[in-house]
A and B are shown apart, each in its own frame.
Chain A
Amino acid sequence: MKKKVISMMLAGAMVLSMTACGNSGNSSDAGSAASTGGDAAAEAPATEAPAAEAGQETEAPAAAEGPVELVVTTTFAGEDSNAQNYKDAVKAWEAETGNTVVDTSATADETFKTRVATDFETGSEPDVLFFFNGADSNSFIEAGKVVSIDEIRAEYPDYASNMNEDLITASLVDNKKYAVPANGYWEAMFVNTEVLDAAGVAMPGADYTMDQFKADCEKIKAAGYAPIAAALGNIPHYWWEFAIFNNQSPANHLEIPESAADENGQSWVAGMNDIKELYELGYFPENTLSATDDETFAMFTEGKAAFLIDGSWKVGGIVSSCQSDPNDPATLDTAKLDKFDVTYVPGKGSRKATDLVGGLSSGYFITRKAWDDPAKRAAAVSFVEYLTSDEMVPKFAQHGASALKNAPEVDASEFNSLQIKAMNMMAGTTSLTGAVQDLFAGDCRVSTFDGMPEIVTGRVAAEDAVAEGLEAYQNQ
Chain B
Amino acid sequence: MGANIYRNKKPALVFLLPAFLFMVVFLYYPFFKNILNSFMHLKQLGASATEFNTPWYTNYEEMLHDPNVWTSVKNTIIMMLVTLIGQVGIAIILALMVDNISRGKQFFRTVFFFPIVISATALGLMFNLIFLRDKGMVNQILEILGKQNLTDWKAEGIALVTMMAPVMWQYVGFYFVILVTGLNNISEELYEAARIDGATALQRVRYISVPLLHNVICTCSVLAVTGALKVFDLPWVMFPKGMPLKSTFLTGTYMYYQTMETKNVDYGAALAVLIVVLGVILAKVVNAIFREKDY
Contact surface of A with B, Cβ cutoff 8 Å: 1, 3-4, 7-8, 10-11, 14-15, 18, 110-111, 114, 117-118, 120-123, 139, 233-234, 286-287, 289-292, 295, 298-299, 304, 442-443, 446, 450, 453-454, 457, 459
| A459 and B5 alpha carbons, distance in the complex (Å) | 72
Contacts of B15 in A (CB 8 A): 7, 10-11
Whether B44 contacts A453 by the Cβ 8 Å rule is no
Segment at the A interface, from B52-60, B213-221, B241-249: B241-249
- In the assembled complex, the CB of B290 is this many whole angstroms from the nearest CB of chain A, namely 37
The minimal Cβ–Cβ distance linking B259 to chain A, given in whole angstroms, is 9
Across the interface, do B45 and A290 meet the contact criterion of CB distance under 8 Å? no
Known contacts A3-B11, A287-B152, A304-B134: does B244 contact A114 (CB below 8 Å)? no
Q: Which secondary structure dominates chain B's binding surface?
A: loop
Selected contact of A290 from candidates B21, B156, B262, CB within 8 Å: B156
Chain B residues with CB under 8 A of A299: 134
A18 touches B243 (CB 8 A): no
Asked whether B261 lies within 8 Å of A114 as measured between CB atoms, the reply is yes
Verify A233–B46 contact, CB threshold 8 A: no
Looking at the assembled complex, report how far the CB atom of A460 sits from the nearest CB atom of chain B, in whole angstroms: 10
Given contacts A122-B46, A286-B152, A450 and B244 within 8 Å (CB-CB): no
- CA of A287 to CA of B22 in the docked complex: distance in angstroms? 47
Q: Say yes or no: A290 contacts B14, CB within 8 Å.
A: no
State the 3 A-B residue pairs at the shortest beta-carbon distance, nearest first.
Answer: A121-B46, A290-B154, A290-B244
Bound Cα distance A117, B5 (Å): 54
Contacts of A442 in B (CB 8 A): 43, 263
CB-CB under 8 A for A18 and B45, given A4-B11, A290-B159, A304-B134: no
Residues of A within 8 A of B245 (CB): 233, 289, 453-454, 457, 459
Query: With contacts A286-B133, A292-B240 known, what are 5 further pairs, Cβ within 8 A?
Result: A7-B14, A117-B44, A118-B46, A443-B262, A453-B245
If A234-B243, A290-B159, A290-B243 touch, whether A295 touches B132 (CB-CB below 8 Å) is yes
Bound complex: CA A7 to CA B17 (Å): 11
Q: Which residue of B lies closest to A143 (CB)?
A: B47
Residues of A within 8 A of B11 (CB): 3-4, 7
Contacts of B186 in A (CB 8 A): none
Interface of A (DSSP majority class)? helix
B45 with A117: CB separation less than 8 A:
yes
B161 within 8 A of A: no
- Interface CB pairs A-B, < 8 A, 29: A1-B1, A3-B11, A7-B11, A8-B14, A11-B15, A15-B18, A18-B18, A18-B22, A114-B261, A114-B263, A117-B45, A122-B45, A139-B44, A233-B243, A286-B133, A289-B155, A289-B244, A289-B245, A290-B152, A290-B155, A290-B156, A295-B132, A299-B134, A442-B43, A443-B43, A450-B246, A453-B244, A454-B245, A457-B245
Q: Is the CB of B44 within 8 A of A121?
A: yes
Which of chain B's residues have a CB closer than 8 A to the CB of A122?
45-46
A-B Cβ contacts below 8 A, count: 97
A121–B244 contact, CB under 8 A?
no
Contact B262 A15, beta carbon cutoff 8 Å: no
Q: Count residues on chain B whose CB falls below 8 Å from chain A CBs.
A: 34
Write the nearest CB–CB distance from A213 to chain B, whole angstroms.
Answer: 24
Instruction: State how many angstroms separate the Cβ of A469 from the closest Cβ of chain B.
Output: 11
In angstroms, Cα B78 to Cα A313, docked, is: 42
CA distance A457 to B245 in the complex (A): 9
Which residues of A have CB within 8 Å of B71? none
Residues 16-59 of chain B: 1 if any A CB is under 8 Å from the residue's CB, otherwise 0? 01100110000000000000000000011111000000000000
Contact A287:B133 (CB < 8 A) given known A114-B45, A121-B46:
yes
Q: Are B263 and A289 in contact (CB under 8 A)?
A: no
Please give, as numbers and ranges, the residues of chain B lying within 8 Å of A453 by CB-CB distance: 243-246
B residues near A290, Cβ cutoff 8 Å: 133, 152, 154-156, 159, 243-244
Cβ proximity bits B104-148 to A, threshold 8 Å, 1 near / 0 not: 000000000000000000000000000011100000000000000
Q: Are the CB atoms of B18 and A287 closer together than 8 Å? A: no
* Chain B positions within 8 Å of A14 at CB level: 18
B10 at the interface (CB under 8 A from A): yes
Closest to A442 in B: B263
The residue in chain A whose Cβ has the minimal distance to the Cβ of B159 is A290
- Min Cβ gap B221→A in Å is 33
Which residues of B lie under 8 Å from residue A123 when comparing CB positions? 46
**Contacting residues, chain B, for A7 (C-beta < 8 A):** 11, 14-15
Any chain A CB within 8 A of the CB of B75?
no
Which residues in B have their C-beta under 8 angstroms from that of A457?
245
Which residue of A10, A18, A291 is within 8 Å of B133 (Cβ)?
A: A291
Query: Any chain A CB within 8 A of the CB of B264?
Result: yes
Task: Map CB proximity to A onto B152-182 as digits: 1 under 8 Å, 0 otherwise.
Answer: 1011100100000000000000000000000
> How distant is A455 from chain B, measured CB to nearest CB, in Å?
11
Evaluate contact between B21 and A15: CB separation under 8 angstroms. Answer: yes
